[in-house]
C-alpha cells in the first residue's frame, strides 16, 4: 500500500506537545497519518517525551511560549491546545504563567484557528467544577470554585479559556471543541510533578513512606492515558461544540488508591498522612453519559492494568538511574 503524500496529510498543531498528554496525543496522530507541529516552551514538559520522534519527517518541534503571537506558515487543519501547567504543585509554583497560558495562550491559539480556518480543541479540566456540590459531575453543572484560593489560578484560567473558546465559536464561527479531562495517568508523567500517581508509585517502588493528604477519604476517578486520548480524538472529529467530560467513572478514595498501589508494587512502604491542601476537592467522578451517547466512547483499560504499565515506566526510570 502506498503512503499518503506528505502534502496531503492533515496538519495538526499540538500546544504543550512535549508534556504527558500532548506527547501521547502526538504519537496517536502520527500513527493516524497526521503531520504534527509541537509548540512547547518546556516549562513543565520534557523533550525526552518526544525524543523518539526526532527523525520523523512528519514531526516538528518548535520551542515557543504560546502566550506570545503564534506564527505558523501554510495550512493548519487541527489545533490541539494542551499547553498549561497541570499538576497542583506546578500551578502553585507558576501561578502567573498558568493564568497567562489559560487566558493569553488560549486567545493566541484561537486567533491562529480563526486565521487558518482550523478546528481547535481546548484541553479543559474537571477543576472547572471546583469542589463539586453535584455528584457525579455532568457537563451541565456550573461548579463550585474559589476564585481567590491557591487553585483559583488554574481553575479560573480554564474557565476563562472555555468562555473564550465559546466566544470565538459563537462570534467568529470558529469550529471548536472543549474536553473536560478528569484525572488521567500513565507513562511519561513527570516523577516529581507532585500528582498522586507518580508520588505514590515512586514512593512505593523505593519503599519510602507514601504520603496521603488529609484522612485520604477524598475521592478521585482515574483514567488511563490511551482511553483518554481515544476519547479526545473522537470529540475533535465530532460536530459537538459544547464541553464533554472524558474520564473514568470508577471512583475510589485516595487512601484505597494508596493501598492498591502498594499492593501492585509489592511494597513495604508505610502510609503516612500530611495536611490536606487548601480547596482540595472532596469528591470527583465524571458523568460520561454525553461521551457515551455522542462519541460511543467509554474507558476500556482496567485500573490494575493501567497502573501496572505505569509502574513499569517508573521502575525503568529508577533502574536506569534517571530517578
Which residues are known catalytic residues? 154
Please count the CA atoms within 13 angstroms of the CA of 180 that sit on its side-chain side: 27
Name residues contacting ligand UDP, limited to 56-95 (CB under 6 A).
87-88
**Closer to ligand UDP by Cβ: residue 123 or 196:** 196
Residue 270, Ramachandran bin (φ over 0: left; ψ between -120 and 50: alpha; else beta): beta
Q: Which residue's CB is nearer to ligand NAD, number 155 or number 204? A: 155
Among 271, 277, 313, 323, binds ligand UDP (CB under 6 A): 277
**φ and ψ at residue 206, rounded to 5 degrees:** -95, 5
- Asked if 58 and 4 touch (Cβ cutoff 8 Å), the reply is no
Is residue 199 near ligand UDP by the rule CB under 6 A?
A: yes
Number of H helices, E strands in the chain: 10, 13
CA distance 270 to 62: 43
Binding segment (CB under 6 A) for ligand UDP, from list 74-82, 102-110, 190-198, 311-319? 190-198
Which of 101, 112, 301, 307 touches ligand NAD (CB under 6 A)? 101
165 is an interface residue for ligand NAD by CB under 6 A: no
Q: What is the DSSP letter of 316?
A: H
Report DSSP letters for 74-120, one per residue. Answer: S---EEEE--S--SHHHHHH-HHHHHHIIIIIHHHHHHHHHHHT-EE
SS3 (DSSP) at 311? helix
Shortest gap between Cβ of 136 and ligand UDP (angstroms)? 15
Is 75 in contact with 7 (CB distance < 8 Å)? no
Candidates 62-70, 102-110, 211-219, 315-323: pick the segment binding ligand UDP (CB under 6 A).
211-219
Segment 8 to 37, residues that bind ligand NAD, using CB under 6 A = 15-16, 18-22
Exactly one of 65, 218, 226, 269 binds ligand UDP (CB under 6 A); which one? 218
How many chain residues interact with ligand UDP (CB under 6 A)? 16
Smallest gap, in angstroms, from Cβ of residue 6 to ligand NAD?
25
The neighbouring-strand residues paired with 38 are 14, 61
**Number of neighbours of residue 277 by Cβ within 10 angstroms:** 15
Assess contact for 227 and 300: CB atoms under 8 A: yes
Which of ligand UDP, ligand NAD, none is residue 60 near (CB under 5 to 8 Å by kind)? Answer: none
Contact of residue 22 among ligand NAD, ligand UDP, none (CB under 5-8 Å per partner type): ligand NAD
Map grid coordinates 504499565 to a residue.
309
The set of cell numbers assigned to 3 is: 503512503
Residue 85 interface partner, choices ligand UDP, ligand NAD, none, CB cut-off 5-8 Å depending on type: ligand NAD
Q: Show contacts with ligand NAD in window 125-164 (CB under 6 A).
A: 125
Nearer to ligand NAD, 105 or 216 (CB): 105
Closer residue to ligand UDP in complex, CB, 254/301: 254
Query: Whole-angstrom Cα distance, residue 280 to residue 218?
Result: 8
CA distance linking residue 198 with residue 86, whole number of Å:
13
* Chain residues in the site for ligand NAD (CB under 6 A): 15-16, 18-22, 39-45, 65-67, 82-86, 101, 105, 123, 125, 181, 183-184
* Chain residues in the site for ligand UDP (CB under 6 A): 87-88, 183, 194-196, 199, 211-213, 218, 220, 254, 276-277, 280
Amino acid at each position: 500500500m502506498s503512503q499518503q503524500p506528505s502534502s496531503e496529510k492533515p496538519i495538526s498543531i499540538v500546544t504543550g506537545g512535549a508534556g504527558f498528554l500532548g506527547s501521547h496525543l502526538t504519537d496517536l496522530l502520527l500513527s493516524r497519518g497526521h503531520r504534527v507541529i509541537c509548540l512547547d516552551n518546556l516549562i513543565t514538559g520534557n523533550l525526552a517525551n518526544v525524543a523518539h520522534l526526532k527523525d520523523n519527517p512528519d514531526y516538528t518541534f518548535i520551542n515557543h511560549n504560546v502566550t506570545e503571537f503564534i506564527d505558523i506558515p501554510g495550512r493548519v487543519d487541527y489545533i490541539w491546545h494542551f499547553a498549561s501547567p497541570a499538576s497542583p504543585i506546578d500551578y502553585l509554583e507558576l501561578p502567573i504563567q498558568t493564568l497567562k497560558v489559560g487566558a493569553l495562550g488560549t486567545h493566541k491559539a484561537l486567533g491562529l484557528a480563526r486565521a487558518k480556518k482550523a478546528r481547535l480543541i481546548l484541553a479543559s479540566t474537571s477543576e472547572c467544577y471546583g469542589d463539586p456540590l453535584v455528584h457525579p459531575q455532568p457537563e451541565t453543572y456550573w461548579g463550585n470554585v474559589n476564585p481567590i484560593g491557591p487553585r483559583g489560578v488554574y481553575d479560573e484560567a480554564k474557565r476563562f479559556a472555555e468562555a473564550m473558546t465559546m466566544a470565538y465559536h459563537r462570534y467568529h464561527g470558529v469550529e471548536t471543541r472543549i474536553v473536560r479531562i478528569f484525572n488521567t495517568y500513565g507513562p511519561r508523567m513527570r516523577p516529581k510533578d507532585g500528582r498522586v500517581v507518580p508520588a505514590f508509585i515512586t514512593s512505593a517502588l523505593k519503599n519510602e513512606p507514601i504520603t496521603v493528604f488529609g484522612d485520604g477519604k477524598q475521592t478521585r476517578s482515574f483514567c488511563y492515558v490511551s482511553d483518554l486520548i481515544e476519547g479526545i480524538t473522537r470529540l475533535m472529529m465530532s460536530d459537538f461544540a459544547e464541553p464533554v467530560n472524558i474520564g473514568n467513572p470508577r471512583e475510589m478514595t485516595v487512601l484505597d488508591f494508596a493501598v492498591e498501589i502498594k499492593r501492585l508494587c509489592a511494597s513495604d512502604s508505610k502510609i503516612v498522612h500530611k495536611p490536606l491542601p487548601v480547596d482540595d476537592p472532596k469528591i470527583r467522578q465524571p458523568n460520561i453519559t454525553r461521551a457515551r451517547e455522542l462519541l460511543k466512547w467509554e474507558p476500556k483499560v482496567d485500573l490494575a492494568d493501567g497502573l501496572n504499565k505505569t509502574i513499569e515506566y517508573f521502575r525503568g526510570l529508577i533502574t536506569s538511574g534517571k530517578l
